[in-house]
Amino acid sequence: MNYNFYVGCYTQSPEEKGIHFISLDTDTGKFSYKDSYFGGEKPSFLIRKGDYIYAANEVGSKGMVSVMSVGSGGELTYINSGEVSGAGTCHVAEMNGYVYAANYMSGNIFGVKVMPDGSLGKVVAEIQHEGSGPNPNRQTKTYAHSVNPVPGDNMLIAADLGADKFFCYRQNDDGSLTPDKDTPFLTAPAGGGPRHLAFNPDGNRFYAVMEMGVTLAGYKKVGGIWEYDFEYPLLDGPFTEADTAADIHFISSGKRLYASVRGQNLISLFNVAESGSVTLVGSYPTCGKRPRNFCITPDEKYMLIANQESGQTAACPIIPDTGELMEATDYVDTPKASCVINA
């Protein structure tokens, strides 16, 4: 079966095409390169919502997201960009007709209205995080790292690496955000540095990778309120400051969970029990250097891994019975790859 994917990359110039359109045949394990598209400068994180692709543009001078329309063959057409104050937009999400994004360098989040023609309209939310953490090198201020809509709710959870917190917001009818009255924030393990989240299929638990702590932190909903549950190492063995967690994803059943670790360049696999507890099965090579985000093919036969430093996307087969990863069957050149998503 052939599946299409988009890879977002760190571009070298404002005009460079940084979104690559590729396909993978999961019967043969071979890639085909299709085309590349302009998605704004440094489209380092991508999501698809309906007929549109939204990109976080990780530039240092402003907060910026871009939108592209998706054609019948998967081709992309740039529509426009939305800008706010801030710097280093690294993550984007769509929620009820609004696009929200996290500015890493300036430690703030923002929201933009999506217009009927798909273009990005007025800014509806700008919130500056406050706080710091115990790590003197990485946590002297806030570093907003992701914005995450809660399934089946009007809550948005923003992970902040610098503050060691998950800020919880309620979405208002006009797209603005208000701190949740019951849980305005959740505390992360001290010095961990929360980065990306994954919700289980029921939406009553989420798991977050701690970038510096190289751990998995679990949270659960009790009586409609989120609370901390546990912390679990991402690696079975020692790690150094060179090892940093990056991305996290469930398979469709919610029974397996994967997380990427840069430095040792590994993907760790966990089995997830009905109780929500996790067991580390093992860690497997990403077949490249400095893995950032990854995705799983719809048939769950392969994992595609965006390896930033080696400048390629790898296709690693998944053993059906165990979920373990095998050596890559193919690679495709995607310079400074940072994100890969199903098209």
Say which CATH number the domain at 182 has: 2.130.10.10
Give the position of tokens 């305005």. 184
- For residue 106, is it within any domain? yes
- For residue 58, is it within any domain? yes
Exposure of 233 in the CB half-sphere (CA atoms within 13 A): 9
- What confidence score (pLDDT) does residue 317 get? 98
Tell me how far apart the alpha carbons of residues 260 and 287 are, in angstroms, rounded to a whole number.
Answer: 12
**Cβ contacts of residue 223 below 8 Å, gap of 6+?**
none
Walking along the chain (343 residues) 10 residues at a time, the average pLDDT comes out as: 98 94 98 98 97 96 96 98 95 98 98 97 97 97 98 97 98 98 97 98 97 98 96 94 97 98 98 98 98 98 98 98 98 98 98
- For residue 267, is it within any domain? no
- For residue 249, is it within any domain? no
- What confidence score (pLDDT) does residue 137 get? 95
- For residue 256, is it within any domain? no
Query: Quick one: residue 124, left, alpha or beta (phi over 0 = left, psi -120 to 50 = alpha)?
Result: alpha
Strands lying side by side in the sheet with 225-233: 194-199, 205-210, 215-222, 225-233
- For residue 313, is it within any domain? no
Q: Could you tell me the residue range of the domain that residue 132 belongs to? A: 39-187
- For residue 325, is it within any domain? no
Cα–Cα nearest to 8, from 109, 90, 72: 90
Phi, psi of 119 (to 5 degrees): -70, 160
Distances from the Cα of 68 to the Cα of 20, 125, 263, 294, angstroms: 13, 22, 33, 21
Strands lying side by side in the sheet with 302-307: 291-296, 302-307, 312-317, 330-333
CB 217 within 8 A of CB 189: yes
- What confidence score (pLDDT) does residue 61 get? 87
- For residue 77, is it within any domain? yes
| Residue type for position 27 | D
Tell me how far apart the alpha carbons of residues 308 and 330 are, in angstroms, rounded to a whole number.
Answer: 16
Give the position of tokens 């393990």. 189
pTM of full prediction above 0.85: yes
Structural domains in the chain (count): 1
